[in-house]
Amino acid sequence: MKSYVILISVVAALGGLLFGFDTAVISGTINFIQPYFGLSEAGLGWTVSSLLFGCIAGVMLAGKAGDHYGRKKVLMLAALLFFISAVGSATAHSLIFFLVARILGGLAVGVASILSPMYIAELAPAKYRGTLVSLNQLAIVIGILVAFFSNYLLVGTGENNWRWMLLVMAAPAILLFFSLFLVPESPRWLAARNRNDEALKVLLKTSGKESALAELKEIGETLTVHEESKFSDLLTPKIKPLLFIGIILAVFQQITGINTIMYYAPKIFANVGQSNDSALLQTILIGGTNLVFTLVAMVLIDRFGRKLLIIIGSMGMTLMLAGLSVLFFTNQTSGVLVLVFILGYIAFFAASLGPAVWVVAAELFPNRLRSKGMSIAIVSLWIACAIVTIAFPIMLERLSGGITFLIFSLICLANLLYVLKYVPETKGKTLEELEKEFAKK
């Protein structure tokens, strides 16, 4: 039973791996595509963020498509889009063609960013849900590390090195597409379509004989409202506070600055005197740190809960970014301390806000509104990510590194205060138990 659930979660998390790879691979190409396409700093920001506009559209489409066609089929479509994007961006000779290919990849990332964690959450037993949904975040950071590592290995392949960097994504896209034939549809989606016999078969394999019938009955009780759910249902008095928590947490995850590091690390290191090869090598250390501390989060998230991890992580992120800011203010950026503070920031993020936000977003909303609630939260995440991605190179150029990283440090502090006051703990309960608990408040 446990092996079967892990298999399902790993296959679904391949969507997260592609998500991580596609968002991070651009970091290794920016020092090559900027002169190739003749981009200004602002133009570079818009080009890097083109993927994120696709993400926003992908999330908006994924919720409704996932409800109508099922989580599994729409993830298969995302795999095809990842493949098309990899080939298209790698063969682009004009900026427009490159942007279109990246936007198609963004559509796939948007779909994967909502449906992979949702699919895992709907299949995972409550006892292991935090860990299994965190597999998606683990896959994201593995994708990021693979992107950084492949970028480093391919940097010496000549003037077309950036094309090879982008083409690598085609391989895991093919793997995701064919792996999805091995896994079932979400039992909660099947039950919502009155396909209870099929839902029970899946639950028997994922939850066991003792729990399957009770769980199916509990799912049925939360789906007693038969009319089609609407986005306006998210604004009812009992659901609206949950929607706000989902949106605000998702936005904080991005505006605390994580993707300024993931997308622009080589540029940051180049700005403090590192060569391209050295900068790309140091991004591998960032990816490795991200991976190690995501594993730490997976061990701790069902033991200590989501809220405590976010609180500790936010404190650490605040201190690391403040330290980085001080280095820039005092012109002490030539030593190893810049890398130390960046790695410290990545470690605290990966052990807390990184995985926990995806877990909480998949747990907050009732069954009939989960895809719509997650869609709104994750669209907010990608909008915030796009704004930060566009703004960062301009901020770095006009405000200096000291002020830029001080701003992100203060945002981390604001996130800490918000979580302390407003975010509930969700560990150890079924999705239906959480739904009933939130309904009473």
State residue 416's pLDDT score. 95
State residue 224's pLDDT score. 59
Cα–Cα dist 142/346, whole Å = 14
209-216 contact pairs (CB < 8 A, 24+): 211/125, 215/430, 215/432, 216/187, 216/191
DSSP annotation string for 306-342: HHHHHHHHHHHHHHHHHHHHHHHHTT--SSTHHHHHH
- Kindly list the averaged pLDDT for each block of 10 residues, start to end, along the chain of length 441: 79 87 86 88 84 86 84 92 95 94 92 85 77 80 87 86 93 92 87 85 80 78 61 83 90 89 74 66 84 89 87 96 91 80 94 87 80 85 86 84 92 94 79 70 62
Show me where the domains of the chain are located: 2-183+225-440
Q: Which amino acid is at 273?
A: G
Query: What number of other Cβ atoms are within 10 A of residue 400's Cβ?
Result: 14
Choose which CATH entry (1.20.1250.20, 3.30.70.100, 3.40.30.10, 1.10.10.10) describes domain 2-183+225-440. 1.20.1250.20
State residue 226's pLDDT score. 45
Cα–Cα dist 130/306, whole Å = 8
Instruction: Provide the token pair at 142.
Output: 């593995």
Burial state string for 108-142 with b = 16 or more CB within 10 A and e = fewer than 16: bbbbbbbbbbbbbbbbbbbebbbbbbbbbbbbbbb
State residue 314's pLDDT score. 95
Q: Which amino acid is at 3?
A: S
204 Cβ contact partners less than 8 Å away, ≥ 6 residues apart: 212
Predicted TM-score (pTM) of the model is 0.73
Q: Do residues 47 and 35 touch, judged by C-beta distance below 8 A?
A: no
Local structure of 423: helix, strand or coil: coil
